[in-house]
Amino acid sequence: MNKPDSKTQDYQNDEIDFGFQSVPRAQKESLVKDVFNSVAKNYDVMNDLMSMGVHRLWKDALMDWLAPQPSQTLLDLAGGTGDVALRFLKRGGGDVKIIDINEEMLQAGQKRSVMRPYADRLSWIVGNAEALPLEDNAVDRATIAFGLRNVTNRDVALREIHRVLKPGGRFCCLEFSSVENPLLSKIYDEWSFKILPKMGELVAKDRASYQYLVESIRQFPDQYLLADMMRDAGFAQVRFRNLSSGIAAIHSGWKLD
C-alpha cells in the first residue's frame, strides 16, 4: 500500500497527516479523539489481539529501562487505561499523574479493578500533550507509550515533556517504529494492513479506527529521526533500543538542567 514518503511534519502547512489522509491541521485533534472514543471499551482486548500479547513484554521492557524508585513521581502521558502507570506502581515507583486528551480512555482505566489498590496514588487528568496542565519541573520521570504518533505537533509535545521534568529527570517513549529485517517487515505489513483492520471490524465493530491506527504507525518518524527530535527538544544522552527487530522501540532522554 502506498504512503507518503516523508515522516517529518511541516508545521507551517495548513494540512497534516491523519493516517494516509491529509486533513486540516485544526481538525486532527478532534479526529483522534473520535478514534479513541470509539476504541476505548475494547482497547485493552484489542491490544492483546493485535500484538498477540507482545505489547505486555514491550511495556515490561520499558519499566526495566525506567527502573522505578519509591521517591519518583511519574507523568504517564497518553496514559489511557493505565497500563504503564500500573507497571510503574507495581515496580515500586511513587505517585503517578496519568494525562490523556481522551476522557473516555481515562474513564475506562479508572473502572479497571486492578487499579483500585493504587487509587490514592493515581491522578487521572484530561489534558493535551501540547499544553500540559503541570508546572515547570513537576515530575521525576515521564513516559508516553503508543501515543506520540497521535499528537498533532510532536515537537511542541516533546518540549512540554522536557519543561515539566525536574532537572535530572528522565523521559522514555515506547512507540511503534521501523522494522529493520526485510523479511519480517514484509510479514508485518501483511499482518497490519490485511488482518488488523478486519480484527477491528469483527471484535470492536470499527474497521476505520483500526485502519487509521495502522496507517499512523507508518507515518511516524523512524528511530533515528525521533532521537533527533528529542535532542532538538532539549533532551540529552538520547538513545534507543529496538524491540522485536524494530516493530517497536524505546527512546530515552534526560533533562540535565
Residues 142, 164: Cα–Cα separation, whole Å: 9
CATH of the domain at 241: 3.40.50.150
Q: Is residue 184 part of a domain?
A: no
pLDDT digits (tens, 9 = 90+) for 167-177: 999 999 999 99
Domain span at residue 170 reads 51-176+219-254
The pLDDT of residue 5? 41
Q: Is residue 104 part of a domain?
A: yes
Amino acid at residue number 58 = W
Q: Is residue 16 part of a domain?
A: no
Q: Is residue 46 part of a domain?
A: no
Q: Is residue 101 packed enough to be buried (19+ CB in 10 Å), middle (13-18) or exposed (0-12)?
A: buried
b/e per residue 110-145 (b: at least 16 CB within 10 A): eeeeebeebeebbebeebbbbebebeeebbbbbbbb
The pLDDT of residue 27? 81
- Number of C-beta neighbours around residue 94 at 10 A: 17
The pLDDT of residue 2? 38
The pLDDT of residue 4? 38
Q: Is residue 45 part of a domain?
A: no
pLDDT digits (tens, 9 = 90+) for 80-112: 889 999 999 999 999 999 999 999 889 999 999
Residues 185, 137: Cα–Cα separation, whole Å: 40
Total structural domains in the chain? 1
Residues 148, 7: Cα–Cα separation, whole Å: 13
Q: Is residue 76 packed enough to be buried (19+ CB in 10 Å), middle (13-18) or exposed (0-12)?
A: buried
Please report, in tens digits, the pLDDT of each residue of the chain (257 residues total).
333 344 555 555 688 887 778 878 888 888 777 777 776 677 666 667 667 788 999 999 999 999 999 999 999 999 988 999 999 999 999 999 999 999 988 999 999 999 999 999 999 999 999 999 999 999 999 999 999 988 999 999 999 999 999 999 999 999 999 998 889 888 888 888 888 888 777 777 878 877 888 888 888 999 999 999 999 999 999 999 999 999 999 999 999 98
Q: Is residue 245 part of a domain?
A: yes
Q: Is residue 62 part of a domain?
A: yes
The pLDDT of residue 246? 93
Q: Is residue 64 part of a domain?
A: yes
Do 246 and 220 meet the contact criterion of CB atoms below 8 Å apart?
Answer: no
